Amino acid sequence: MTRFDVLVQVMPRDTLLDPQGQAVGQALTALGFAGIGDVRVGKAVTFQLDRPDEDAAKRDARAMCERLLANPVTEAFTVVVEGAT
C-alpha cells in the first residue's frame, strides 16, 4: 500500500449561474479590485488515500466524487492524485 495525497475540486457547471460567485465578484469590486470576471465558488476537498497504485487511487477518488462529494447534475469535479509520501 502506498499513501497518496488526493485533491478534489468541485465547481458549479459552466452552464449554470453561480450566485455565490457573483456575490463574491461584486464584493471584490466594491473593495476596489477592478478587471475581475466570471467568479465561481466551489469546494476543495483534500485527503490521503492508501491504495496499491496511483490508478487505483484515482479510480476510487473519482468514485467518491460521483457518490458523495459532487452533485453530478450541478457540479463538475477534477481529481489530482499526488505521489507517494
Contacts with a copy of itself by CB under 8 A lie at 1, 3, 9-11, 21, 24-25, 27-28, 31, 33-51, 60, 63-64, 67-69
- Cα torsion through 75, 76, 77, 78, rounded to 10: -160
* 8 A C-beta contact, residue 5 and residue 81: yes
SS3 of residue 11 by DSSP: strand
Minimal distance, residue 13 CB to a copy of itself, in Å: 13
